[in-house]
Amino acid sequence: MMPGHDKRPHRRRWTSSCIRSPVQEVHAPRIWPSDVVRFYTRGNHQRPTADNAAQNRDVPMPSTTDSPTGEPLHRRRPQRLKVQNFFVSQDGVAAGEDQTLERPFGHVDPGPLTQWAGATDSWPNRTDPGGSRGVDDHIVRDFTHNIGAEIMGSHKFSPFRGPWTSEDWKGWWGDDPPFRTPVFVLTHHLRPSFSLSDTTFHFLDASPSEALRIAMDAAQGKDVRLGGGVTTVLEFLEAGLVEDLHIAVAPHDIGSGLRLWTSPTDFEDRFHHESVLSPSGMEHHFFWR
Ligand SMILES: NC(=O)c1ccc[n+]([C@@H]2O[C@H](COP(=O)([O-])OP(=O)(O)OC[C@H]3O[C@@H](n4cnc5c(N)ncnc54)[C@H](OP(=O)(O)O)[C@@H]3O)[C@@H](O)[C@H]2O)c1
C-alpha cells in the first residue's frame, strides 16, 4: 500500500475532505445581500405551477451577458486549464502499454474504469432511459460546461507512431466526435487540420505553454480541457499549467501500465484537494489552485 493512500474502497460514504497546503488560501468572494436577492428573485427556480407559469414566461433565462456591465459572465474570470473525468485504477494506472488499433488503452481493459460514467443518465452514448442521476451523473454532465477547446496528446488521438503514412485516420470517435470545439493534438508529426461534424482537429508541435496560449485563444474566453493521455497530463502538470483536475479512482488495482501518480497525495503540494466516494465505488478526487 502506498503511504497515505487507504485502499479500502468503502471506507467513507458521502463524505468529503479538504486538505490545504499552508501556502494556499481559499479566497471566498464577498456575496452582497443584493446578489442573494437578485438570485432568488430571478423566477427560474420557481416550480412551474399554474399560478406562476404565465409569470415565468416573462422571466428571462440566465444570460451570458447578465452582468452589471453587460460583459459576458464567462469572461469575468480568467480562463482555466482543466483535466476532467480522468480515470485511474486504485494504484494510479490510467492506460496500458502496447496500444494498438484494436486496444486503444493497450493491455488495460477500460471497462471497469469507465463503467461509472456509462451508467449515468448524462452519458452521451446512452440510448435507453434509466441512468443514475447522482454524483457520477453530475460529474459527467459537467464535462462540456464552459469548455471552448481541448488539448490532447497524439497517442490519445491515434495508435500510430512516427510520420503519417496516410491521413485517413480521423481519431477513434467516428463521424461525430464528442468534443464539439477545436481540438489541438500535440505531435511531432504535423498534418493538415480537418473537421468532423462540430469538431475541428488541429495538429501542433509546440511547448505546453505555447499550445495552451493557442488553445485559450481558440476557446474565446471559455476554459480549455486537457484531455490526456497520461504523458501529456504529466507534461502540463510539470509545467505548472493545470488549474483543475478531476480524477476518478476505481476501487481496484491494475499493477502495471502508464501511471498518473503513486497516490492522490502526490499533488497536494500544488493543489487544494477534496474527494468524495460515490455509491458506484468510484472515489472522485478534485484538485484546484
Ligand atoms: N485514463 C484516462 O482517463 C485517459 C484519458 C485519455 C487517454 N487515455 C489513454 O492514454 C493513452 C495515451 O497516453 P500516452 O501517455 O501514451 O500518450 P499521450 O499523452 O496521448 O501522447 C503523448 C505523445 O504526444 C506527443 N506530444 C506530447 N506533448 C508534445 C509536445 N509538447 N510537442 C509535440 N508532441 C507532443 C508525442 O507524440 P509524437 O512524438 O509521437 O508526436 C508524445 O509521445 C492511451 O491509451 C489513451 O487511450 C487515458
Percentage of the chain lying above the pLDDT 70 cut: 74
d(CA 16, CA 289): 18
Cβ 142 vs Cβ 109: under 8 Å:
no
| Ligand 1 center to 159 CA (angstroms) | 10
C-alpha cell at 270: 500544488
Q: Which atom belonging to ligand 1 lies closest to the Cα atom of 106?
A: 45
Comparing C-alpha atoms, which of 86, 236, 104, 229 is closest to residue 160?
Answer: 104
Residue nearest to atom 8 of ligand 1 (CA): 229
* pLDDT at 27 > cutoff 70: no
Residue nearest to atom 46 of ligand 1 (CA): 156
C-alpha cell at 116: 461509472
Q: What is the pLDDT of residue 66?
A: 47
Tens of pLDDT, residue by residue over 190-225, are 999 999 999 999 999 999 999 999 999 999 999 999
DSSP codes of every residue in 230-252: HHHHHHHHHTT---EEEEEEPSS
| Ligand 1 center to 186 CA (angstroms) | 8
The domain limits of the chain are: 78-288
| Ligand 1 center to 158 CA (angstroms) | 9
Q: Which residues pair with 83 in a beta bridge?
A: 245
Span of 6-10, 75-79, 153-157, 207-211 with lowest mean pLDDT: 6-10
Q: What is the pLDDT of residue 127?
A: 87
Cβ 259 vs Cβ 231: under 8 Å:
no
3-state secondary structure (DSSP) of residue 211: helix
Q: What is the pLDDT of residue 91?
A: 97
| Ligand 1 center to 103 CA (angstroms) | 15
Q: Mean pLDDT, to the nearest integer, of 146-151?
A: 98
Ligand 1 pocket, Cβ-based, cut-off 6 angstroms: 86-87, 94-95, 99, 104-106, 153-156, 161, 186-189, 205-208, 227-232, 235, 258
Q: Which CATH number fits domain 78-288: 3.40.430.10, 3.40.50.2300, 3.40.50.300, 3.40.640.10?
A: 3.40.430.10
Average pLDDT value over all residues in the chain: 83
Q: What is the pLDDT of residue 188?
A: 98
Span of 5-14, 163-172, 174-183, 185-194 with lowest mean pLDDT: 5-14
| Ligand 1 center to 156 CA (angstroms) | 5
Residue nearest to atom 41 of ligand 1 (CA): 187
d(CA 213, CA 210): 5
d(CA 212, CA 223): 11
Tens of pLDDT, residue by residue over 234-270, are 999 999 999 999 999 999 999 999 999 999 999 999 9
Residue nearest to atom 12 of ligand 1 (CA): 229
Question: Cis (ω within 30 of 0) for the bond into 255?
Answer: no
Q: Mean pLDDT, to the nearest integer, of 149-175?
A: 97
Residue nearest to atom 47 of ligand 1 (CA): 105
Exposed / middle / buried, residue 150 (Cβ in 10 Å: 0-12, 13-18, 19+): buried
Span of 22-26, 149-153, 282-286 with lowest mean pLDDT: 22-26
Cβ 19 vs Cβ 268: under 8 Å:
yes
Q: What is the pLDDT of residue 77?
A: 82
Question: Cis (ω within 30 of 0) for the bond into 229?
Answer: yes
Residue nearest to atom 21 of ligand 1 (CA): 153
| Ligand 1 center to 233 CA (angstroms) | 8
